[in-house]
Amino acid sequence: MSSRSLLANAIRALSMDAVQQANSGHPGAPMGMADIAEVLYNDFMQHNPQNPSWPDRDRFVMSNGHASMLPYSVLHLSGYDLPIEEIRNFRQLHSKTPGHPEYGYAPGVETTTGPLGQGIGNAAGMALSEKIMAAQFNREGHEIVNHYTYSFLGDGCLMEGISHEVCSLAGTLELGKLICFYDDNGISIDGDVIGWFADDTTKRFEAYGWQVLSVDGHNAEEIKAATEKARAEIVKPTLIRCKTLIGKGAPNKEGGHDVHGAPLGADEIAATRKAMGWDYEPFEIPDEVYAGWDAKEKGAELEATWNEKFAGYKAQYPTEAAEFARRMAGDLPDNWEEVATQAVKDIADQALTQATRSSSQGALNAFGPHLPEFLGGSADLTPSNNTFFKGSKYINSAHGTDKDFTGNYISYGVREFGMSAIMNGVTLHGGLMPYGATFLMFSEYARNALRMAALMKIRSIFVFTHDSIGLGEDGPTHQAVEQIPTLRMIPNMNVWRACDAVESVVSWKSAIEKKEQPSCLIFSRQALPHMERDEATLANVSKGGYILKDTDGTPDVIVIATGSEVQLAMNAAEQSDKKVRVVSMPSTTEFDAQDAAYKESVLPSAVTARVAVEAAIMDGWYKYVGLNGEVIGMSTFGESAPAPQLFEYFGITTEAVVEAINKVTA
């Protein structure tokens, strides 16, 4: 047995043993890709197990995340803080080795890839970040950003539509340091994929502008040569098609779908050990294998070399070095609080009446000059989303800059899901703060990437405009009615729906400051009036829900509203003969996070007469108004007509709010 085979077989042994002990998991892909992983990690990967967050490390993404025992095995073997006990606890409660790789659990896991296809999207985002950060910070003779992004993926990733979105864009943007290894084993859960996946993958990726190479996925020399060729191609991303046997080494099951997602079984594991010449007990790894995999010394040397390089850079470019360190740490500028406070005050003083999508652009104009880490973009709706601010600069050659990656704005094309997964990869890479926009209705296409951002606790900012039936004539296919409440249901998602320019800038401030939380910022197409606030009221906007208009003494009724419907609540309060408190609640998620005393001060439990109004599905508002309260909103899809007619038709009017006030106070 060659030393390479011995090292690769350690992955196979750990993978089959862990899956067997858990009685759950996917041994086939880790066993099939073990030879590829051995070459990649031992011959090419720049990483330091003792410092998994070293800025210039290579990034590795396991897009076919069900094969999680492959990265877990590699991380354990190469010296990361992932002891053998964690391998034994594969898929067990609170282990560092859950069923799919989860960001923040095992050191060295760069992302939660989740459902198939998103990993390659994340990887594209990381490669994009490397290219942008290199353009922004590298100087002649001082290349402090110079690393690769590697991704493993399988047939399932390529069948998912998101792979088309992100791989097409990666080719267009010439992300030459993105190298993907395709586990071309021809097998998925249902069996031989030829019956449902007969694409010419080579021609497909060549059409995207990729370099495509083909190798025997069990021949180390072929894998090494192809990887060297991929690294030498600085313009085109590379797909290396690795012809493999799923479950390689299992004599009675390799090459078939039975080994894809189930334990091998005791008999087959014994036969596999014999076939591989692996004469060790379960979870036993000989010292010579550990020695062959150990990357701690090499990794420390690589990082030390980079540290020397960075020290030289810092000596010559101290301002840029400090900025690089700040941005890679994800910290905001030292003067951020001063800048943000002044921006909120300035916009409040302007008393603007305009669509909140325009107010959002105003917030970007205020914050953008102070946040060089901003990386904006839109899914082909920039003029409608208003996400291009005064300091924006396209990187795409289509806009006349010949792929100048010193820019800060991406035209993502009509790729909502791909955009969002790429944004998550950008955030995870570090150094950039991405925001990307589309119509609120199309958040449905992006939804799973939003969920992954919330699950990973990362600061990706999703901008959604055209927020309700206020969209008007485009009709029910484009009018969001259920999207706002369902976005609020995503755990750890910061959701804001602004009623005017002031709430718009505060929502941006909140999103920027949420280091461990993604945000959905929701804005209107139609113009909305400015709401007057005193200094104390202005300070409470950031709490997500606050008293916008009050009455003397205890109110008879509380009316809660968001977005474009706040003006209806304010008008109704003026017309009603009751003592009405109006609560604007741009962010239920932020309001819910406040302490009990503050929430009681805004929504006193003694006042049970309550009305909520929002041009969206109504169910979520009953937790604020109670079962005896009234909610004015949508219970159906919209219609195609001018917005004013639609609000009248669906009964979302000042008159309806007044009627509801009278009903709950009767």
Query: Would you name the residues annotated as active-site residues?
Result: 416
- Number of alpha helices (DSSP H) and beta strands (DSSP E) in the chain: 27, 20
Cα(254)–Cα(257) distance, integer angstroms: 8
**Amino acid (1-letter code) at residue 245:** L
Tokens of 311: 């020290």
Cβ contact 467:563 at 8 Å: yes
DSSP symbols for 517-547: --EEEE--SSEE------HHHHHHGGGS-EE
DSSP 42: I
Residue 194 CB neighbours (<10 A): 9
Contact 511, 499 (CB under 8 A): no
CB-CB neighbours of 271 under 10 Å: 17
CA distance 461 to 512: 8
Binding-site annotation, residues for substrate = 26, 260, 357, 384, 466, 474, 478, 525
For the annotated binding site, the residues are 26, 66, 114-116, 155-156, 185, 187, 260, 357, 384, 442, 466, 474, 478, 525
**Residue keyed to tokens 């977005």:** 563
Q: Which amino acid is at 142?
A: H
Residue numbers belonging to the annotated binding site for Mg(2+)? 155, 185, 187
Q: Which residue has the tokens 């606790």?
A: 457
> Which residue positions form the known binding site for thiamine diphosphate?
66, 114-116, 156, 185, 260, 442
How far is 416 from 436, CA to CA, in rounded Å? 9
The pairing of strands 494-497 and 238-243 is: unpaired
d(CA 121, CA 172): 14
Distance from first CA to last CA of the chain, Å, rounded?
87
User: Which residue type occupies 461?
Assistant: I
d(CA 599, CA 622): 16
Q: Which of 225, 281, 284, 273 is nearest to 250 (CA)?
A: 273
